[in-house]
Amino acid sequence: MSQAKTLTERELKRVLDYIAINRHAARNRAMVMLTYCAGLRVSEVAALMYSDVVAADGNIKTEFRLKAEQTKGGYARTVFVSDKLRKELATYVKTLKRHDRDSLALFGTQKRDSFTANTLCQYFHWLYKRAGLEGASSHSGRRTFITNLASKGVGVRVLAALAGHRNPATTMVYIDASDDMKRKAVELVF
């Protein structure tokens, strides 16, 4: 099985533009941005609770804790939320009706209180396909998150911690060494 496509800024914009003209735009945008800006797996997005992300005062937290049962590896970790992602999540949370805010899951469907990991995985596949991106999958946002940070010089240990990988070698597989990254690297010599 090949790796998920790493998205360019242009491709991400294409996906977000597609989301904007369809139903549940705020919800769908927030879910995509959690993968792209925080590196969450879709199973982790599906498992998010409202109280995980929203503080008692109604503001979006600057960091939140994923419990072991919410992660793939079964290890709890802290997710750090950038200002950009906080704005995205705040926009989504404002769309929730009063009774939605009282429900446990952060992201619900029309038929269920929350997405299952499988349903959300399928949704991402469908979303990228409809936006015209070949090779993109539910893991594309996560892979893009890790690659973008690596290209900005973030060390592999920090990347592994952010991704929730116990072994930095696992994180290394996610990094897509683009031609631009290679060009910048060779310019560092002398």
Give, in degrees to the nearest 5, the angle at Cα 91 between 86 and 92. 100
Q: Which long-range contacts (CB under 8 A, 24 or more apart) does 175-179 make?
A: 175/146, 175/147, 175/150, 176/3, 176/6, 176/143, 176/147, 178/6, 178/147, 178/151
Query: Are 134 and 146 in a shared domain?
Result: no
Whether pLDDT at 67 is above 90 = yes
Point out the domain boundary residue: 139, 161, 178.
Answer: 139
Confidence (pLDDT) at 1: 53
Confidence (pLDDT) at 98: 61
User: What's the whole-number mean pLDDT along residues 24-35?
Assistant: 97
Query: Which residues in 21-122 belong to E strands, given as ranges?
Result: 63-66, 77-80
Closest alpha carbon to 20 in 130, 122, 139: 130
Q: Please name the amino acid found at residue 14.
A: R
In terms of residue numbers, what domain contains 67? 9-139
Query: Are 146 and 128 in a shared domain?
Result: no
Domain count, the chain: 2
Query: Are 120 and 97 in a shared domain?
Result: yes
- Identify the helix (H) or strand (E) that includes residue 27: helix 25-38
Question: pLDDT-derived band of residue 103, with 50, 70 and 90 as boundaries?
Answer: low
3 assigned to some structural domain:
no
What pTM does this model have? 0.89
2 assigned to some structural domain:
no
Query: Are 93 and 156 in a shared domain?
Result: no
